[in-house]
Chain A
């Protein structure tokens, strides 16, 4: 974000505690000191207000990057995101653009209390007019946020909060940024089955694939990166080649984003599949208290169990 703010004086950061505190995850640490209170705006505590005023700033030519403090707190802002941010450009027949980024630390695994560990992506992938992306590693976090901020469409940007503490090499060259942020990526090639994942589950799937290798199975891991739009070419090519697909995400399986993936893969790769597309995810329950979250969240064993089932058909 610092890079984006240096590149474009119209980029603003806004949200609760993003200034002096640097955000509750310290993602915006030091930005207010360097760019001032007019560009790094500590807002009142009201999520609808954050998105609604960001829309107004975007109408005036600014590029606001909003931080929603935790996933479960995006719902007070859902009205502004769904009825206004997503649809206003179409309402104007293209006369206006709304380059607003909504950053949402998402997912569980950090031992938090209720409303701090959810995966609300399906609500937003269901809304036309939004781009929805999820980064899974430090390099993509850097590259994708640059592109999200430069994008003239509204972007909902999911950041897996339990991956915040990971370190990795970052390609700061322009070539690095412009790996299209709506492109999926095969992060581990394989030949026997495909694991489709995004955000926090990419790392889990990579661990599962490494473990499966010991059992003589070659699993391919695809990081979707963008959930809307979807890079179908990469997904379908992998599905056709391996013939088995397991979708992994943290959100509840029922009516979750995996349902869309399963439907699309089945529709387009039916004659190539050796097994139905299987899904691994959260249960049809509210996110549980943290002492239970290890059972709720898909882990290496649950992913491998699904792979076993895929081979059982």
Chain B
């Protein structure tokens, strides 16, 4: 048998893609999925998209100025994150990777806390229970199992809630993600697997992860998979909302593959010009998640220039505020190293803390 390396997920027959808003801003119908949004709600989604892009751009700039050690940009994935994030109810729980700044925004996590992690102030620092938004997980795919376990807890509590877990196309190769599919299926856990297929796992293209469209993986595990236009905030909202409702009503897991594109680098340490061609980027620019909502609002006269200007002004202020607060983040104190390693007293930690404190005090004499 000869393996044809060029044959991969990109070359499959065009898959079904749930789309409710075209790149040109035309609203279209889908037989299974729909959203009924008021003009105010559409404007609110637009505002979310613009503001999270601004948070992201500001963070990239801060990294370039040496204020953050690294940053994982969400540029291009705003619709996938805002659409799915706004589908959640307060009692739903979200488990992110390290790129879900838009979902964090939807869960009211202060963006400066995200910056704190990348600045090296701490490893997270927000209270997951306060926001129903778990900590960022750096190891690829680990959080999918935590999410399934949490969903099993929801089952045992008989709560009206669901869990959503985010991961990328690269993560689908991980054992943990596959184990999480098995667990979720076997226990019929109330969970939505939200895969943002941004086409690249650092420099590895989708073809290095799979030879079939990712959403089809779900059928092998015994639950539905659906591919949605990840740059279409309406479609992401509709599909996620329906999947969450299925989870809450005992119908088990769904895999949502948001077909999108990472416009920037994997992280700020990466150089995508080494592995992808400019034409690909240009093609995806035409599918920009913000521009299509803007076009829709314009065409349908649901917003005027004053509205767009006001959102831009709000974004500018948000950026400036974020920059100011990032620079003002206090450095942790040396003895903070020992805090929160254990909940209960631990002799070794106490001993080392005391020794290090005495050592530090030696410099003050």
Q: Interface residue count for A (Cβ, 8 Å)?
A: 46
Contact between B342 and A129, CB atoms less than 8 A apart: yes
Q: Are B183 and A49 in contact (CB under 8 A)?
A: yes
A152 pairs with B344, CB closer than 8 A: yes
Option from A52, A94, A151, A229 in Cβ contact (under 8 Å) with B348: A229
7 shortest interchain CB distances as A-B pairs:
A56-B149, A52-B145, A60-B153, A53-B149, A49-B179, A56-B150, A94-B340
Nearest-neighbor residue (CB-CB) of B347 within chain A: A229
Q: Report Cα–Cα, A179/B67, bound state, in Å.
A: 50
A residues near B (Cβ < 8 Å) are 38, 43-44, 46, 48-49, 51-62, 76, 79-80, 83-84, 87-97, 128-129, 131, 151-153, 182, 228-232
Which of B122, B130, B153, B344 has the most CB atoms of chain A within a 10 A radius of its CB?
B153
**Contacts A44-B183, A46-B182 known; A93 to B125 CB distance under 8 Å?**
yes
Q: Which residues, 101 to 150 on B, are CB-close (under 8 Å) to A?
A: 122-130, 134-135, 137, 139, 142, 144-150
Alpha-carbon gap, A59 to B150, bound state (A) = 7
Residues of chain A within 8 A (CB-CB) of B342 are: 89, 129, 131, 153
Residues from chain B with Cβ under 8 Å of A89 in the complex: 340-343
CA of A94 to CA of B182 in the docked complex: distance in angstroms? 31
CB closest residue in chain A, given B343: A152
- Is residue B250 within 8 Å, beta carbon to beta carbon, of the partner chain? no
* Residue pair A182, B347 in contact (C-beta under 8 Å): yes
- CB-CB under 8 A for A153 and B152, given A53-B183, A56-B147, A91-B124: no
Complex Cα–Cα for A232 and B351 (A): 11
Contact with A along B222-259 (1 / 0, CB 8 A): 00000000000000000000000000000000000000
Among A90, A228, A229, contact of B340 (Cβ-Cβ < 8 Å): A90
Cβ of B87 < 8 Å from any Cβ of A?
no
Contact B347 A53 (CB under 8 A): no
Enumerate chain B residues within 8 angstroms of A44, measured Cβ to Cβ: 179, 182-183, 186
Complex CA–CA separation, A28 to B150 (angstroms)? 24
B16 within 8 A of A: no
Report if A93-B122 is in contact (Cβ < 8 Å); known contacts: A48-B179, A59-B128.
Answer: yes
On whether the beta carbons of B340 and A54 are closer than 8 Å, the reply is no
Listed A/B pairs (6) with beta-carbon separation below 8 Å: A44-B182, A59-B146, A60-B156, A61-B153, A93-B339, A94-B343
Cβ of B151 under 8 Å from chain A: yes
Check: B81 CB closer than 8 A to any chain A CB: no
Whether A230 contacts B339 by the Cβ 8 Å rule is no
Known: A88-B135, A94-B340. A48 touches B175 (CB 8 A): yes
| Chain B proximity of A275: nearest CB distance (Å) | 26
B221 to chain A, nearest CB (A): 11
Q: Select one of B142, B180, B347 contacting A232, CB under 8 A.
A: B347
B157 touches A (CB below 8 Å)? yes
Out of B152, B182, B186, B341, name the residue touching A56 (CB < 8 Å).
Answer: B152
Residues B179 and A46 in contact, CB atoms below 8 Å apart: yes
Pairwise interchain contact A56-B139, C-beta atoms closer than 8 A: no
Q: For A84, give its contact among B122, B139, B183 (CB under 8 Å).
A: B139
Question: With A48-B176, A80-B142, A91-B123 in contact, do A128 and B341 touch (Cβ < 8 Å)?
Answer: yes
A60 touches B344 (CB 8 A): no
Q: Are B347 and A230 in contact, with the CB atoms below 8 A?
A: yes
A62 and B153 contacting across the interface, CB-CB below 8 Å: yes
Whether A83 pairs with B139 at a CB distance below 8 angstroms is yes
A95: chain B residues at CB < 8 Å are: 126-130
